Amino acid sequence: MGRCHNGRVSVSNTTRTAGVGQSRPGGRSARIRAAVHRAVQELLAECTVESLTIPMVADRAGVHATTIYRRWRSIGELLASVAGHRFSGEVVVPDTGSLRGDLEQWAADVATDLADPDVLALMRAAVGASGPEHGANVCVADRRAQLAAMIERERSRGGDPPEVSLVEDALLGPLYYRATFTERPGDPEWARDLVARVLG
Amino acid sequence: MGRCHNGRVSVSNTTRTAGVGQSRPGGRSARIRAAVHRAVQELLAECTVESLTIPMVADRAGVHATTIYRRWRSIGELLASVAGHRFSGEVVVPDTGSLRGDLEQWAADVATDLADPDVLALMRAAVGASGPEHGANVCVADRRAQLAAMIERERSRGGDPPEVSLVEDALLGPLYYRATFTERPGDPEWARDLVARVLG
């Protein structure tokens, strides 16, 4: 338990960092969630997703497996929960004063985030572990809301921005496509160039 | 064995369609591959990917599990193999006489293909089951080659097409992003509109 079964190097118990016994802000429920989420992220960095089980996560997090099953009924739900948490926050909506400036900074930040191998591993696991009802959607829900907010702000400034769906196709499309399906996640310069293509 | 463990409806043994005992063109090796591939696709339509195991696939395909392990060392490799096979062919490169016509027809065909729930289930499973070295890449390798071929043909006709990477971002980006990460895979009309956006 708590070790990978595929021969890759595993973190030994003595180097655990996610035990619930450690003090964290928030109540016991928040501590458990944080420990379980961190255990999943650690294990994904060490194991294949196929080898991941709830008892293994429980062991790494220092909680009982039943505690995990009570909140997340399957490894798929758990992965979606971790991904949803990871893909909220991290990237913030910039406020540069212009839509172009906002989108350039934001797209560059998303590209940087998606180039992180740990983020990629979590995203791929969340995509694979689920139907459309949970999993993949949570990797983009916050980004879509951020994009809509930037475009709405431009409209409230009296600007005439493109439709959200058009910008979503032009920015989130290639950003997530490259990260998910190719060996070359985007870099910030390329991401800023995507903005120039859609805004002209 | 051969049944899902998550309570969803499973196809009973009497309705199996993928047994290797049936006559197929090609040698025994090709028959086994076809039976195993079909078993995976059937099971993905019935089960969550988390519940999929090689013994389950073997049972459905009517082969020994060791036969599968000899060719594909893990369920991840097997899923990548099935996805690679499914994402080669199906969509062909059109020859309408113009790059615009070719891309419009091709993008519409890719959109239609990616809107198939069985294709989506396989693609998501292949993405999740693997690192970048196998899995996700196989879902797009053939499409990228097709795109490059259409653009090269336009160049050989004396045209001045955009760079392949730019068209890939503008077409495959949103096509695969929508299918993978949102509840609304693209439709042919939207796909043709993507072509207008990149070609002007």
CATH number for the domain harbouring residue B25: 1.10.10
B4 pLDDT above the threshold of 60: no
Query: What pLDDT score does A1 carry?
Result: 41
**What sign does the dihedral B56-B60-B64-B68 (CA atoms) show?**
negative
Angstrom distance (rounded) from CA B82 to CA B138: 9
Angstrom distance (rounded) from CA B107 to CA A24: 50
Q: Are residues B107 and B166 in the same domain?
A: yes
* Inter-chain CB proximity B183 and A75 less than 8 Å: no
**Is B79 among the domain residues?**
no
Q: Are residues B45 and B131 in the same domain?
A: no
B196 pLDDT above the threshold of 80: yes
* Inter-chain CB proximity A172 and B177 less than 8 Å: yes
**Is B60 among the domain residues?**
yes
Name the percent of chain B in helix, strand, coil, to the closest 5: 65, 0, 35
A75 inside 8 A of chain B by CB: yes
> Alpha-carbon dihedral of residues B29, B30, B31, B32, nearest 10 degrees?
50
Query: What pLDDT score does A102 carry?
Result: 97
Per-residue pLDDT band at B16 (split at 50, 70, 90):
very low
What amino acid occupies position B40? V
Average pLDDT over residues B45-62: 89
Q: Are residues B107 and B42 in the same domain?
A: no
**Is B87 among the domain residues?**
no
Cβ neighbours of residue B20 closer than 8 Å, sequence gap 6 or more:
B28, B31, B32, B35, B61, B62, B63
Query: What pLDDT score does B7 carry?
Result: 38
B50 inside 8 A of chain A by CB: yes
Average pLDDT over residues B161-185: 94
Query: What pLDDT score does B131 carry?
Result: 53
CB A128 within 8 A of CB B127: yes
What is the nearest CA distance from B23 to chain A, expressed in angstroms?
33
**Average pLDDT taken over every residue of chain B:** 85
Angstrom distance (rounded) from CA B7 to CA A199: 49
B100 pLDDT above the threshold of 60: yes
A-B contacts at Cβ under 8 angstroms: 124
Chain B, residues 81-140, CB within 8 A of chain A, namely 120-121, 124-132, 135-137, 139-140
Q: How far does Cα A72 stand from its chain's mean position?
A: 18
Task: Name which of A124, A139, A174 is nearest B173 (Cβ-Cβ).
Answer: A174
Query: What pLDDT score does B133 carry?
Result: 55
Task: Name which of A126, A131, A174 is nearest B169 (Cβ-Cβ).
Answer: A174
Q: Are residues B50 and B129 in the same domain?
A: no
Q: Are residues A184 and A104 in the same domain?
A: yes
Average pLDDT over residues B156-161: 95
Query: What pLDDT score does A49 carry?
Result: 81
Angstrom distance (rounded) from CA A121 to CA A117: 6
Q: Are residues A46 and A100 in the same domain?
A: no
Q: Are residues B58 and B153 in the same domain?
A: no
Structural tokens at position A131: 């139907």
**Is A3 among the domain residues?**
no
A44-48, A179-183, B2-6, B189-193: which range is least confident on average? Answer: B2-6
Query: What pLDDT score does A25 carry?
Result: 56
Q: Are residues A116 and A65 in the same domain?
A: no
CATH of residue A137: 1.10.357.10
Q: Are residues B65 and B99 in the same domain?
A: no
Residue A197, classified by CB atoms within 10 Å of its CB into exposed (0-12), middle (13-18) or buried (19+), is middle
Which residues of chain A lie closer than 8 angstroms to B6, CB-CB? 74
CA distances A177 to A128, B136, B138, Å, are 15, 10, 13
Domain count, chain A: 2
* Inter-chain CB proximity B180 and A136 less than 8 Å: yes
Q: Are residues A179 and A121 in the same domain?
A: yes
Query: What pLDDT score does B28 carry?
Result: 85
Query: What pLDDT score does A135 carry?
Result: 67
Which residues of chain A lie closer than 8 angstroms to B173, CB-CB? 169-170, 173-178
**Is B100 among the domain residues?**
yes
Which domain covers residue A29, as residue numbers?
Answer: 13-71
B123 pLDDT above the threshold of 50: yes
**Is B168 among the domain residues?**
yes
**Is B1 among the domain residues?**
no
What is the nearest CA distance from B161 to chain A, expressed in angstroms?
16
Q: Are residues A114 and A184 in the same domain?
A: yes
Q: What percent of chain B has pLDDT over 70?
A: 84
Q: Residue B140 carries which DSSP code?
A: T
**Is A5 among the domain residues?**
no
B18 pLDDT above the threshold of 90: no
Average pLDDT over residues B150-158: 96
Which of B54, B140, B178, B180 has the most A C-beta neighbours within 10 Å, making it the best mutation to test the interface with A? Answer: B180
Structural tokens at position B171: 């077409």
Regions of chain A short of the pLDDT cut 50: 1-3, 5-18, 21-24, 132
Cβ neighbours of residue B168 closer than 8 Å, sequence gap 6 or more:
A174, B144, B147
H helices present in A47-185, as ranges: 54-61, 65-71, 75-86, 99-114, 117-128, 141-156, 164-170, 172-181
* Inter-chain CB proximity B127 and A180 less than 8 Å: yes
Average pLDDT over residues B7-29: 50
Q: Are residues B64 and B129 in the same domain?
A: no
Angstrom distance (rounded) from CA B111 to CA B44: 21
Please identify which residue in the block is written with the tokens 């051969």: B2
> Alpha-carbon dihedral of residues B143, A164, A85, A130, nearest 10 degrees?
-40
A85-94, B17-26, B35-44, B125-134: which range is least confident on average? Answer: B17-26
pLDDT tens digits, A31-73? 999 999 999 999 988 887 878 889 999 999 999 999 999 999 8
DSSP secondary structure of A20-55 = TTS--SS-HHHHHHHHHHHHHHHHHHHS-GGG--HH
Which of B87, B130, B181, B187 has the most A C-beta neighbours within 10 Å, making it the best mutation to test the interface with A? Answer: B181
Cβ neighbours of residue B15 closer than 8 Å, sequence gap 6 or more:
none
